[in-house]
Chain A
Amino acid sequence: MHPIVADLLFYATAASYFAAFVLFLVHLTGNKHFVTALPKAVWLVGIGGVLHAAHIVVASLVLHVCPVKGIHFTMSVMSALACLVYVGMRTRYRVDVVGVIVAPVALTFLIASVVIGKGESADAGPMKSAILPLHIVSNVLGDALFLLAFASAVAYLVQERRLKQKRLTGLFQRLPPLDALDRAEHGFLLAGFPPLTIGIITGAVFAQRVEAGSAADVARAAFGYATWGLFAAVLLLRAMGGWRGRRAAYGTIAGFGFAVAVLLMYLFRGATGGEPVALLGGP
């Protein structure tokens, strides 16, 4: 397949995400002349997600690599997956406007996947293991859902701040209801936690097999466990101690921060000639 197809898909995806982001902002400003901005923005996120997925497939064919092999691809897969899950789940939670965070984050991940480092290859040996694909796929899925939980948490904090400060007009007046954002954040977190747990377990098993032990490996593992621990604490405290709303949102954002830190560790290891083999929870 000609590389230009992958390039075209890349630019089309980026344009879709960017246009969606602009339309979300137009909707949030409450401009009455653009009443259809929100549905158009949601459509563009969906189209972007499909184009993004197509880009990943075409690029992997062009580069002759597995889509979940390198960290750049996995980041790209994660953001495309997040966009598609968002489009699929938005009616359930009625948090369409969360796309204002999902679209630019997806765009950032898309650009980062081609700007930082190149499509380095992983060690063929570990890839033959049945555990590693499971580890990567579960972490990609978990991170995609955590991205949505993070977006909901950020939107929650903005909405909560507006209500606490009693500024009910102006920018962000069209944010979803507070309760819907809280439920969405909890729902995405709950959905993302089992894949993350699988990712952690498989990561730990995999680490044992390859007997990795460098400082970077330990740091990544530590951040991975911290991510799992934070999300587990947020879910547990919500169920047991009634930690909802702002506290849960802060916990979710912190957890996602750790998840992104793990991704960045892999990303920069890849950029400096390392070998990216996993997303989260282990070497």
Chain B
Amino acid sequence: MIVVVGLSFRTAPVEVRERFATSTDTFPQVLARLAARPELSEVMFLSTCNRVEVFARPKTATEPDRALALRAIREVLGAHASVTDTELVRVVYEREGHEAIRHIFRVAASLDSMVLGEPQILGQVKSAYDAAVAAGSLKNVLGRCVQRAFTTAKRVRSETALGAGTVSISSVAVDLAKSVFGDLQKHTVLLLGAGEMAEAAARSLGKGAKAIHVCNRSSSRGELLAQEVGGQAVPWADMEQELGVADVVVASTGSPSFVVTRDMMKRVMKARRGRTLLLVDIAVPRNVDPEVHAIDNVFVFDIDDLEAQVAIGLDARKGEAARAEVIVEAELAELVKWAQALDVQPTVVALRAKTKGILVAELERSLQGRLKHLGETERAALLQMVESATNKLLHAPSTRLRSAATTENGGELVNAARTLFDLPEAKPEPEDDDGAEASEPERVVQ
């Protein structure tokens, strides 16, 4: 049983989302807090500009444990964003079971993105997965589920045209720049921040710009990006001066507060002698005070403002989205089969344990009685024989149980086996599925 608790651009505006956003410093802390909750046996934390979500597996699949898990997640998110549970429930959504898995698949496949088909989300989910693996908070069930989400996303990308000609945040920024300046041949682009988004924006905007200036707190990172995009790194201390020179500013720093304030921009506009300035703020929390937009000849667009632009061309992609949804459903069905087979595993394990236990017990009794003259080698051979006999004896029943698990009457067969062999009641969903066939999750190489 998988659960998801989250908020996205669909349920919360940017001024709410930015309260939940994490930086590179706070992300591991939130993940560690989630992983430390005893109500959760597996957890993955995803934090992007457009969504903050926690994917988790409760201790067991029972209703009370699910409720406890959901509450635990809300508590951690609420504490992180300093909001009460009442405030939180207004903006978060919760999904359970198949709905939760479908949600993960749709998120990874960019079917739930603000920009349908945008490629960045898959990388962001992979990063979240890697962080969870590194923190040891992913095991075989949620881990397998997320890996399947990657498979789904790859299929959607290769088998549909959902991502073809897609509108990314950076391409929307280019369109905005064109609405204001036409081509950028005589205009300078300033990047505030040198992260992944800044890089994407630089690659889109930089193609036709007169110059690209990269202004980053870490000068080494700024210089690296400037080198990559053929721009020029400028010191963070010169930001205000650079704002006076630039025509298009793309802000994407991890700053928790406004980097560009109204007072600063008033000074800048005076120095610019009223020349038009476009600021595209793709950071969450926002880098540019929204009040700046009220200043004459200054235009500020934050991540939510880009939604209207994204709507252009959405109709053309609806057909592709429908095809992508079919892939999601097919992959979901496959994962459900695997999960159902996983449900049979405790029965198979119990059957093996009981059979082997009986045979070993009988052998031990014989070895202490009539066969006590046997040496160590012979004893070991007999134990080996018991092991082989158990495997051969139970191979067909185990295989049939697993196959039947994915059918409608699978549950009946499992109950019959338990009754016939008098097996103990299995736990609904054990914390550690030792018998599960899935291996431990591995880091994803992006």
Q: Which of A16-62 contact B (CB under 8 A)?
A: none
B180 touches A163 (CB 8 A): yes
Q: Which residues of A contact B273 (CB under 8 A)?
A: 241-242, 244
- Candidates A164, A169, A180, A244; contact of B308 at CB < 8 Å: A169
Instruction: List the one stretch of A81-89, A171-179, A253-261, A273-281 in contact with chain B.
Output: A171-179
Q: Which residues of B contact A178 (CB under 8 A)?
A: 179-181, 276
Say if the beta carbon of A246 comes within 8 Å of chain B. Answer: yes
Q: Which of B252-277 contact A (CB under 8 A)?
A: 270, 272-276
Q: Which residues of A contact B62 (CB under 8 A)?
A: none
- Candidates B275, B299, B311; contact of A164 at CB < 8 Å: B299
Q: Which residues of A contact B312 (CB under 8 A)?
A: 169
A245 touches B276 (CB 8 A): yes
Q: Which residues of B contact A241 (CB under 8 A)?
A: 273-274
B311 touches A169 (CB 8 A): yes
Q: How far is the CB of A171 from chain B (nearest CB, A)?
A: 14
B296 touches A245 (CB 8 A): yes
Assess A246 versus B181: contact at CB under 8 Å? Given A166-B305, A168-B308: no
Say if the beta carbon of B301 comes within 8 Å of chain A. Answer: yes
Q: How far is the CB of B296 from chain A (nearest CB, A)?
A: 6
| Count class of interface residues, chain B | 20 to 34
Assess A243 versus B181: contact at CB under 8 Å? Given A164-B293, A169-B309: no
Q: How far is the CB of A238 from chain B (nearest CB, A)?
A: 8
**Distance of A94 Cα from B185 Cα, bound (Å):** 15
Q: Which residues of B contact A143 (CB under 8 A)?
A: none
Q: Which residues of B contact A168 (CB under 8 A)?
A: 175-176, 179, 308-309
Q: Which residues of A contact B311 (CB under 8 A)?
A: 169
Q: Which residues of A contact B182 (CB under 8 A)?
A: 94, 176-177, 179-180
Q: Which residues of B contact A243 (CB under 8 A)?
A: 274
Q: Which residues of B contact A163 (CB under 8 A)?
A: 179-180, 299
Select from chain A the residue with minimum beta-carbon distance to B276. Answer: A179
Say if the beta carbon of A118 comes within 8 Å of chain B. Answer: no
Tell which of A166, A177, A180 has the most Cβ of chain B within 10 Å.
Answer: A166
Q: How far is the CB of A135 from chain B (nearest CB, A)?
A: 35
B178 touches A244 (CB 8 A): no
Q: How far is the CB of B278 from chain A (nearest CB, A)?
A: 9
**Distance of A163 Cα from B279 Cα, bound (Å):** 12
Say if the beta carbon of B297 comes within 8 Å of chain A. Answer: yes
Q: How far is the CB of A206 from chain B (nearest CB, A)?
A: 38
**Distance of A94 Cα from B178 Cα, bound (Å):** 13
**Distance of A134 Cα from B277 Cα, bound (Å):** 42
Q: Which residues of A contact B308 (CB under 8 A)?
A: 166-169
Q: Which of B274-333 contact A (CB under 8 A)?
A: 274-276, 293, 296-297, 299, 301, 305, 308-309, 311-312
- Candidates B178, B179, B275, B296; contact of A246 at CB < 8 Å: B296
Say if the beta carbon of A185 comes within 8 Å of chain B. Answer: no
**Distance of A201 Cα from B364 Cα, bound (Å):** 125
Q: Which residues of A contact B270 (CB under 8 A)?
A: 242
Say if the beta carbon of A269 comes within 8 Å of chain B. Answer: no
Select from chain A the residue with minimum beta-carbon distance to B309. Answer: A168
**Distance of A180 Cα from B180 Cα, bound (Å):** 8
Assess A179 versus B309: contact at CB under 8 Å? Given A164-B299, A166-B301: no
**Distance of A94 Cα from B176 Cα, bound (Å):** 17
**Distance of A169 Cα from B175 Cα, bound (Å):** 12
Select from chain A the residue with minimum beta-carbon distance to B182. Answer: A177
Q: Which residues of B contact A164 (CB under 8 A)?
A: 293, 299
A179 touches B274 (CB 8 A): no
A245 touches B299 (CB 8 A): no
**Distance of A159 Cα from B176 Cα, bound (Å):** 12
Say if the beta carbon of A96 comes within 8 Å of chain B. Answer: no
Q: Which residues of B contact A244 (CB under 8 A)?
A: 273-276, 297
A177 touches B275 (CB 8 A): no
Q: Which of A65-119 contact B (CB under 8 A)?
A: 94
Assess A242 versus B272: contact at CB under 8 Å? Given A169-B312, A180-B182: yes
- Candidates B180, B272, B293; contact of A177 at CB < 8 Å: B180
Select from chain B the residue with minimum beta-carbon distance to A182. Answer: B276
Select from chain A the residue with minimum beta-carbon distance to B187. Answer: A179
Select from chain A the residue with minimum beta-carbon distance to B306. Answer: A168
**Distance of A243 Cα from B297 Cα, bound (Å):** 10
Mask of B156-187 contacts with A, CB within 8 angstroms, 1/0: 00000000000000000001101111100000
Q: How far is the CB of A220 from chain B (nearest CB, A)?
A: 34
Q: How far is the CB of B308 from chain A (nearest CB, A)?
A: 5
Q: Which residues of A contact B181 (CB under 8 A)?
A: 177-179
Q: How far is the CB of A181 from chain B (nearest CB, A)?
A: 10
Select from chain A the residue with minimum beta-carbon distance to B178. Answer: A177
A177 touches B179 (CB 8 A): yes
Select from chain A the residue with minimum beta-carbon distance to B300. Answer: A166
- Candidates B178, B297, B301, B309; contact of A245 at CB < 8 Å: B297
**Distance of A245 Cα from B176 Cα, bound (Å):** 17
**Distance of A242 Cα from B266 Cα, bound (Å):** 13
Tell which of B181, B274, B276 has the most Cβ of chain A within 10 Å.
Answer: B274
Select from chain B the residue with minimum beta-carbon distance to A176. Answer: B182
Q: How far is the CB of B247 from chain A (nearest CB, A)?
A: 8
Tell which of B176, B178, B276 has the most Cβ of chain A within 10 Å.
Answer: B276
27 sampled A-B residue pairs with Cβ under 8 A: A94-B182, A163-B179, A163-B180, A163-B299, A166-B308, A167-B308, A168-B175, A168-B176, A168-B309, A177-B182, A178-B180, A178-B181, A179-B180, A179-B181, A180-B182, A182-B276, A242-B274, A242-B275, A243-B274, A244-B273, A244-B274, A244-B275, A244-B276, A244-B297, A245-B276, A245-B296, A247-B296
Which residues of A approach B to under 8 Å, CB–CB? Answer: 94, 159, 163-164, 166-169, 176-180, 182, 241-247
Instruction: Name the 6 nearest CB pairs between A and B, nearest first.
Output: A242-B273, A242-B274, A177-B182, A244-B274, A245-B297, A179-B181
10 other A-B residue contacts (CB within 8 Å) besides A169-B312, A242-B273, A242-B274: A94-B182, A166-B301, A169-B308, A177-B178, A177-B179, A177-B182, A178-B276, A179-B181, A242-B275, A244-B274
